[in-house]
Homo-oligomer: A and B are copies of this chain.
Amino acid sequence: MKLNSTNVRISIIPYTAAARPELTQDKTVVVIDVLRATSVMVHALFNGAREIIPAVSPEEALQKSLLYHTNEVLLAGEQQTVKIEGFHLGNSPLEYTPEKVAGKTIIISTTNGTKALNSCLNAKQVIIGSFLNAGAVVNKLTDKEDVVLFCSGTNNNFSLDDGLCAALITDGIVKQKKDAVELSDFAQLLLNAYHYNDNITKSLQKCYHLNLLKQRGFENDVTFCLQNNIFNIVPQMNLINKSIN
């Protein structure tokens, strides 16, 4: 045991369908959905959104919006990459400009990310992670004991973009804490893969979900979401009223 140095234990949830309550219970959980839910959240809050409320379905998003005045709330999200009909915003981070989002409550439903958020409500703390704010997230984690990096994944499978973001965050913690880090087997795997090639764009050339988004015309979103450390904010989930700010 070292004085003045907490050991950080890092474990990974590879995708939402693999989450189980005991994996998140009382832990510091970082939810990662690089393409694109958590990148959207980070960008929206950086641009002045008041709060973000995740919903598990478009229907739940609509229902929750009824609690707000129409001029203070925006409905947002996607289903299978496509904007939900009648909603104000889709799942493209570039849509979330200061002009549109400043001061607003955003209620968002996405295919993977918001489901991940709703499956870790038993955590001690839930943090929103992405490449955009990875450095700030690392700094928030170095004094925690039990960190779970929750990769949202795509359609109940592992997605390499989320995995490499978790690897980058793991690498950042290891660089700061040196030997005072304990990595689960999965965290070791991620770190080794990241060390093999730390050029994220190149490593993701064959990533299924990234290529699907490109095919559907979201290439600018992909480029935006793969930027590293451009926003120095760490959104957190308020576990009582379940909003993110």
Contact with B along A153-173 (1 / 0, CB 8 A): 010111110010000000000
A17 at interface, CB cutoff 8 A: yes
Q: Report yes or no: B196 in contact with A20, Cβ–Cβ below 8 A.
A: no
A122 at interface, CB cutoff 8 A: no
Closest Cβ of chain B to A130, distance in Å, is 17
Q: Report yes or no: B20 in contact with A20, Cβ–Cβ below 8 A.
A: no
Residues 173-196 of A contacting B (Cβ, < 8 Å): 183-186, 188-190, 192-193, 195-196
A203 at interface, CB cutoff 8 A: yes
Residues of B within 8 A of A11 (CB): 157
Q: Report yes or no: B196 in contact with A192, Cβ–Cβ below 8 A.
A: yes
A14 at interface, CB cutoff 8 A: yes
Q: Report yes or no: B163 in contact with A185, Cβ–Cβ below 8 A.
A: yes
**Cα of A183 to Cα of B160 in the assembled complex, Å:** 11
A206 at interface, CB cutoff 8 A: yes
Residues of B within 8 A of A184 (CB): 157-158, 208
- State the number of copies, please: 2
Interface size on A, residues (CB 8 A): 30
> Which has the most chain B C-beta neighbours within 10 Å: A17, A20, A158, A208?
A158
Residues of B within 8 A of A197 (CB): 192
**Cα of A209 to Cα of B184 in the assembled complex, Å:** 10
Closest Cβ of chain B to A166, distance in Å, is 11
Q: Report yes or no: B185 in contact with A208, Cβ–Cβ below 8 A.
A: yes
- With A18-B14, A20-B17, A158-B14 known to touch, is A207 a contact of B185 (CB < 8 Å)? yes
Q: Report yes or no: A203 in contact with B192, Cβ–Cβ below 8 A.
A: yes
Q: List 21 A-B contacts (CB under 8 A).
A: A11-B157, A14-B18, A14-B186, A154-B185, A157-B185, A158-B184, A158-B185, A158-B186, A160-B186, A160-B188, A163-B185, A183-B206, A184-B208, A185-B207, A185-B208, A189-B190, A189-B193, A190-B193, A192-B193, A192-B196, A192-B197
* Leading 4 A-B pairs by shortest Cβ distance: A196-B196, A192-B193, A160-B185, A193-B193
